[in-house]
């Protein structure tokens, strides 16, 4: 089964959001166009409590994008974003979700960040996504969304480890740091991920 995984296409990651991904809104129409080509479509949302440990505002004297260590794990501190139940945490209003069978939420534990759609950053807690996809019969997994160099990338790493044949849809994704993403794309290829355009699905 051919599955599309749409990662974190949420208001806070749009150009007007608190953690804007450059051109994040430009991918919405592309994602809408490709959805009919898939047997299964699912999405994810960052879904943080207000007191989430990754928010710079919850650390005295800290600023967004500071780097600290929490429980032995490196942690970037972020602006408050995608707070549970807020309009900023909602999926982009123009994203077609009619074909989405499920939406998986991540980052719900205030004590640890969760970039990947599959596990938190310490691999302590599963979202249940891997089991869901395997039960549905997913063999080929196509990933897109925001941000390509963070949540999409970490999701791809875990998807490969879970044994899925992974495809990264480059023009249906945008990175927070395009320069750093060049190195990440090479890592993807080295992992066996196919980097494709939406035109070739």
Distance CA 21, CA 192 (A): 26
> Exactly one of 46, 82, 106, 120 is catalytic; which is it?
106
- Rounded CA separation 128/106 (Å): 10
Active site residue 66: no
How far apart are alpha carbons 47 and 51 in whole angstroms? 12
- The secondary structure of the chain in percent helix, strand, coil, rounded to multiples of 5, reads 30, 30, 40
Q: Is 10 helix (H, G, I), strand (E, B) or coil?
A: strand
Q: For residue 98, is it left (φ>0), alpha (ψ between -120 and 50) or beta? A: alpha
Q: Pick the catalytic residue: 25, 82, 149, 151?
A: 151
CA angle 94, 138, 192 (to 5 degrees): 95
Active site residue 186: no
**Is residue 166 flagged as an active site residue?**
no
- E strand or H helix that includes residue 183: helix 178-190
Element spanning 161, H or E: helix 153-161
Q: Which of 8, 12, 113, 158 is catalytic?
A: 8
Residues designated as active site: 8, 106, 151
């Amino acid at each position: 089964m051919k599955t599309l995984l749409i990662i974190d296409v949420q208001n806070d990651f749009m150009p007007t959001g608190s953690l804007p991904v450059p051109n994040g809104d430009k991918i919405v129409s592309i994602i809408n166009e490709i959805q009919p080509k898939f047997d299964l479509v699912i999405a994810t949302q960052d879904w943080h409590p207000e007191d989430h440990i990754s928010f710079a505002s919850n650390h005295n004297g800290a600023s967004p994008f500071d780097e600290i260590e929490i429980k032995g794990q490196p942690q970037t501190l972020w602006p408050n974003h995608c707070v549970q139940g807020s309009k900023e945490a909602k999926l982009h209003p123009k994203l077609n979700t009619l074909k989405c069978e499920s939406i998986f939420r991540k980052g719900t534990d205030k004590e640890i960040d969760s970039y990947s759609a599959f596990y938190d950053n310490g691999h302590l807690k599963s979202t249940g996504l891997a089991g869901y996809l395997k039960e549905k019969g997913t063999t080929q997994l196509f990933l897109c969304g925001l941000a390509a160099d963070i949540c999409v990338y970490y999701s791809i790493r875990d998807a490969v480890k879970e044994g899925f044949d992974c495809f990264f849809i480059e023009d249906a994704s945008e990175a927070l740091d395009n320069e750093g993403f060049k190195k990440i794309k090479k890592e993807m290829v080295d992992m066996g991920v196919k980097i494709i355009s939406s035109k070739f699905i």
